[in-house]
A and B are shown apart, each in its own frame.
Chain A
């Protein structure tokens, strides 16, 4: 069973600050990593699907990198805005079970 960890658990930043958080996953038998943003009272929204070592993906002010050899992914938010406040989840998938294991999430609060 995969163990996916995320840090920090929560984060408070000021509007305009850039921030980043980490998702750690077992590197053996890695298949894919997903990032999601989950705002309160809404459904999780897909941000990125990453599969290749060294992958870098970007969507607006949000970007992510992937290191499958050491088992981590970083999510970066440039110039945080209050609307970025949400819980950011990563989910890892391995070659065996082909089922998703979600991390506990990083709760981001952007203060105006």
Chain B
């Protein structure tokens, strides 16, 4: 069974631009969660989507948004990029609610904002 895939793997953007990251979950998984990892803040939860609906949201500004498609693939968008958005963005999929099931993480997208 193929694992979680994320595209692109690396990305360089400039301040003020916007970016869209993509995550394809393991086949059959309906929940996709997004996380941001920075050296200073560690791993932080962004949001979770289940059956095309956002279930939970972490403490991030509205510039961070996401969506999920009917095939469970998910995208995350960050608008008006700031230098502090430079981070590793991970997505994880699980069978159903991520709270009760193991999450399987993708390799991440490394975003650098200059």
The reply to whether B104 and A46 contact each other, CB–CB distance below 8 Å, is yes
Chain A nearest CB from B44 CB (Å) reads 7
The reply to whether A105 and B58 contact each other, CB–CB distance below 8 Å, is no
At the interface with chain B, which of A14-22, A67-75, A76-84, A92-100? A92-100
The reply to whether A46 and B102 contact each other, CB–CB distance below 8 Å, is yes
Known contacts being A44-B105, A102-B45, is A51 close to B100, with CB within 8 Å?
Answer: yes
Chain A nearest CB from B103 CB (Å) reads 6
Interface assignment of A43: CB less than 8 Å from any CB of chain B = yes
The reply to whether A31 and B45 contact each other, CB–CB distance below 8 Å, is no
Number of interface residues of B (CB under 8 A): 26
For B43, give the chain A residue with the smallest CB separation.
A102
Interface assignment of B42: CB less than 8 Å from any CB of chain A = yes
The reply to whether B99 and A31 contact each other, CB–CB distance below 8 Å, is yes
For B106, give the chain A residue with the smallest CB separation.
A43
The reply to whether B58 and A49 contact each other, CB–CB distance below 8 Å, is no
Known contacts being A32-B100, A93-B99, A104-B42, is A99 close to B105, with CB within 8 Å?
Answer: no
For B47, give the chain A residue with the smallest CB separation.
A99
How many Å lie between the Cα of A49 and that of B96 in the bound state?
13
The reply to whether B103 and A46 contact each other, CB–CB distance below 8 Å, is yes
How many Å lie between the Cα of A13 and that of B47 in the bound state?
36
* Interface residues of A, Cβ cutoff 8 Å to B: 1, 31-32, 34, 43-46, 49, 51, 89, 91, 93, 97-105
